[in-house]
Amino acid sequence: MFDFAIKHTHRSARRGVFRTPHGEVQTPAFMPVGTAGTVKGITPSQLKATGAHMILANTYHLQLRPTADVVRELGGLHTLMGWNGPILTDSGGFQVFSLAGINKITDDGVEFQSHIDGARLTLNPESATEVQNKLGADVIMAFDQCPPLPCNRETLASAVDRTIRWAQRCQNAHRREDQALFGIVQGGLDLGERQRCVDALVGMGFKGFALGGLSVGETHEEMVSVLEPCGEMLPVDKPRYLMGVGMPRDILAAVQAGIDLFDCVLPTRNGRNSQAFTATGQLKMRNERHKIDTAPLEEGCDCETCERFSRGYIRHLFIAGEMLAATLTSIHNLRFYQRFMARIRELIVEDRLDDITEEFPIAVSEG
């Protein structure tokens, strides 16, 4: 039902295939984020046309509304979203970090105050796993504690301790063989804590492993200093997922360290905020210089936006407040990411991964 096969390696970079009940994922792969059961402003057919293989949804947000029970009654997450490809659900562990101001953490779990209406929602390893079992995604994540960076050693060690204990509780609570449960490695920038977490998780029987607790305040250089050692710590025969990391240069560094899966809101968030990704950097589409520009967002891009619409038109839509502006720019950004990942896969097989920066200079810049 689940299988991960490495087809080629170039130094530490891996070209693989991850097989799930809803299809194959060609790796390294980027997963668009559909937090509340939708990739914002994008239909499933539009999403498929960008080249996406797998998408992500979020346990915390879906449990708030419409709730996992409603999703199950409506046929499960795939039916609800109209997406017949693989889906991964985050456990809500990232919200332990991102919503720190409205939650309370104990050894048992986390009590949230809903950001929507203030209602109480408790997530712990058992309930987060049960919710994900009801949602029905192909890959589900263990509930973990994601500490901020920087943080003191005591806080970091405590988060790792909880993550380890909670991981075993998630395994014990997991009820569906048609869902692959991944463990999450925490430890911040401390390689000793990362190793301690990996050592504890590997024996628990997870189908894959994620690196959590990055892109939460550290610099690019600090992130890179952790990626390669962590790649060496993880089992070779299991898929590796770097959570919430999405700038092209960060993705490239992680691929070079042996990471297989990525997700981030950047393509659609930036698209809604009038920023378009190109191989050489980002365009700010509200700028006056695009007013009478007849060029596409990016020459050579085969997305629907670039094949049919001009920069001048897209700028007009943003200035006029038309929702189509966000959709068209998001389609382009999503296709940009899939073109970037497809080229990475090709160059790994050709043993020329270093050449990616010639075609995508954005992969060595801040974007």
* 93/141 Cα distance (integer angstroms): 9
Q: Is the pTM of this model over 0.95?
A: yes
For residue 367, is pLDDT > 80? no
Residue type, 295: A
pLDDT for the residue numbered 148: 87
**What pLDDT, on a 0 to 100 scale, did the predictor assign at position 101?**
77
Considering the chain, what percentage of its residues have pLDDT values greater than 70? 100
Q: What percent of the chain has pLDDT over 90?
A: 90
User: pLDDT value at position 112?
Assistant: 84
pLDDT above 90: residue 284 = yes
Is a pLDDT exceeding 90 seen at residue 251? yes
Of 60-69, 106-115, 220-229, 317-326, the range with the lowest mean pLDDT is 106-115
Single-letter amino acid code for the residue at 123? L
Phi, psi (rounded to 5 degrees) for 260: -110, -30
**Predicted local confidence at residue 92, as pLDDT:** 85
18 has which bridge partners? 4, 25
Q: Is 202 exposed, middle or buried (0-12, 13-18, 19+ CB in 10 A)?
A: middle
Mean pLDDT to the nearest integer, 137-157: 94
Give the pLDDT confidence of 172-228 residue by residue, as tens digits.
999 999 999 999 999 999 999 999 999 999 999 999 999 999 999 899 999 999 999
> In this model, does residue 20 exceed pLDDT 80?
yes
Taking 90 as the threshold, does the pLDDT of residue 77 lie above it? Answer: yes
Q: Token pair for residue 102?
A: 């409205």
User: Which residues are catalytically annotated?
Assistant: 90, 263
Q: Is it the case that residue 96 has pLDDT exceeding 80?
A: no
CA atoms of 42 and 61, how far apart (whole Å): 18
Q: Indicate if the pLDDT at residue 115 is higher than 90.
A: no
Which residue, among 310, 251, 315, 265, has the nearest Cα to 288 in the 3D structure?
Answer: 315
**151 or 299, higher pLDDT:** 299
The contacts of residue 31 (CB under 8 Å, 6+ apart) are: 52, 53, 54, 55, 56, 88, 261, 262, 263
Q: Where are the domains of the chain?
A: 3-264, 266-367
> Which tokens in the block code for residue 246?
């999405």
pLDDT category at 267 given cuts 50, 70, 90 is very high
Report whether pLDDT(102) > 80. Answer: no
pLDDT in tens, 214-229: 999 899 999 999 999 9
CA 306/CA 300 separation, integer angstroms: 8
What was the pLDDT predicted at 254? 98
Banded model confidence at residue 119, pLDDT cuts 50, 70, 90: confident
Residue type present at position 146:
C
* CATH match for 3-264 among 3.40.50.450, 2.60.120.10, 3.70.10.10, 3.20.20.105: 3.20.20.105
